[in-house]
Amino acid sequence: MRRVRYGPQPYILPHVLSISPDVFSHSLPHHTHQLALSTAMATTLSPPLLLLAVLLLATVSTTQCHGHKRHHHHTDGSRRPNKAAVADTISPAAANTAHHAICHRTPHPVSCLAAVASHLDAAAVTTAKAAEASSSSAVSVQLLPPNVLSVLLASLRGAASALSSLSPAISTLPASPAAASLRRGAAEDCEELHAASLSSLSRSASLLAAAAPGEGGIPAVRAHLAAALANKATCLDGLSGDPGIPGLLASLDDAYEHVSNSLALVARGGGGVSASAAGFASAVAKAIHHNRRLLQDDEDYGGDDSNGDGGGSGNSDGQPAAETVITVAKDGTGNFRTVGEAVAAAPNSSQARTVIRVKAGTYEENVEVPPYKTNIALVGDGRETTVITGSRSAADGWTTYRTATFGVSGEGFLARDVTFRNTAGAAKGQAVALRVNADLAAFYRCAVESHQDALYAHSFRQFYRECAVAGTVDAVFGDAAAVLQGCALLARAPLPGQDVVLTAQGRGDPNEDTGIALHSCTVSAAAGEAAAMPAGTRTFLGRPWGAYARAVVMDSNLGQIVDRGGWAEWPGAEPGRGDTVFFGEYGNTGPGADTEGRVGWAGVRQMEYGEAAQFAVENFISGDEWLGATSFPYDDDV
């Protein structure tokens, strides 16, 4: 049964654990590990650890596709470590039967065994301390086999070590001779995304070491690891075609094998989280209390007072942290005249909400919300009147990532009643209006307008409610876990010879929890665009950017512009991609919903309820843990 939720409590970015190098400094014993827990601690400590055990042991064997999304590069053996030689150095203890079996469930077993050989002594300090703290109790609880956790942590440490070793080369890219031949922003993209990947590895290790349910636990680990893989793909897209840096490309491939292995070790079993795990996560979320509604209607703000009673996690005195309100107005009646200035003025790494109120007007600027600007809420006067616009494009030499008019990397970002626009035009190629690579980001009553690549749902978990997305080729694309609910997807007129494609999902690893889910949406031509469509233009629901792309359309009204084939091929894709994708439809209505004539790929299916429910808000993006606090409405089921 569908329930529309309006959460009364503010979502505040949980305290981010900072993992130290010592977190891997102790090895777990090879024999079966038992923790003795007191009866009083059992209800608080054991459930997250048991959840970790359930999900880690649900790992399934996978085969990794090695092709990149938009380019391919190959190097000879001279540029890569001799993995056979590495394997020969693995000690008998490291290569015991348990570790060998675990590593052979990963996409890159040799890299996994090499990490075990190098980092077997690395283990979670938090886990070890928990064992010591509870050793005197008479109550004993069997936890996950220590070999699984030790291999996982060794793999993460191997990933962090490999990526860290590349930091000097990546940090010098902007000033290197090779940078002159790259697209504008390519070197900066790699540097920024490299730092983000290192942060995601640190965050993942912290979550595993602490088994912190308040941060989303295992789903958050999966989100961070999948985001790291998306970061790599984006960096490689910008560097592709440059003959001067093949060694770096090969090294990136090798380093990210450890990330892919780590993701495989925490993958969902059978394509869906168990009901018990989901129930536990929901129970934890409901137990987290905050002090007030974070994003009320405009009239409830009480003017532009920046000293409101706020909504945040408690300070050192246990009192709510103060909410900051910053006003942007072009006429000078606010704190700043530009949105970028307001973002820069927001506190760094804030656990309290910073509300940036943008008064009516058209703001011509490119804005970036960096990772350290957390918990920002951007509130406009309405998407018809508050517009942020830019015109960067691929044709002008920019990377797709850097064309974004508005880019979001700061966790916990919210936006309401704002239009994000890119006016480059259809002839300029990729021209992103809104790019989001921030976890737990939500948008309500916003508009995203461009032509090709309008909404770049890059990575992490995202939610869009009652938004309008207008575009042509790949209107919504990326490798996030994104749910668009109650949104309007509006087809604009492309160039002659082009087709309109509504989604292009970039999942490149079968263990990623990513995809694009359209739920209760409408698909039609944008106002005034139908007559401008070139003759022969077809409109497709999506095409597979990544080898394991996932996109679903559920309970939506599909206009007659939707082509009978439904889904389109990706130009130049490897043979058989249609068999490895997941393109699903469920409960749709309208003339475009007739599935007679859909392409006959193995990966295209008419879903039953059980499959469709996996893409519901509560299951796909853990929405019940965080969306209720935004005050944005959402349906948690299909």
Q: Active-site residues: which are they?
A: 453, 474
How far, in Å, CA of 491 to CA of 521, rounded?
A: 13
How far, in Å, CA of 552 to CA of 298, rounded?
A: 34
Residue from 424, 394, 526 nearest 469 by CA? 526
Distances (CA, A) of 614 to 258, 278, 551, 567: 27, 11, 12, 21
Q: Which residue has the tokens 């031949």?
A: 181
Determine whether 114 is exposed, middle or buried from the number of CB atoms within 10 Å of its CB (0-12, 13-18, 19+): buried
Contact call for residues 149 and 57 (beta carbons, < 8 A): no
Q: Which residue has the tokens 């920024």?
A: 192
Contact call for residues 52 and 220 (beta carbons, < 8 A): no
Exposure string over 224-247, b if 16+ CB within 10 A, otherwise e:
bbbbbbbbbbbbbbbbbebeebee
**Sign of the dihedral through C-alpha 42, 47, 49, 54:** positive
CB-facing half-sphere around the CA of 383: CA atoms within 13 A: 18
Contact call for residues 198 and 224 (beta carbons, < 8 A): no
Paired strand residues for 463: 442, 483
3-class SS string, 412-480: CCEEECCEEEECCCHHHCCCCCEEECCCCEEEECCEEECCCCCEEECCCEEEEECCEEEECCCCEEECC
Contact call for residues 273 and 608 (beta carbons, < 8 A): no
- Give the chain's count of helices (H) and strands (E): 16, 32
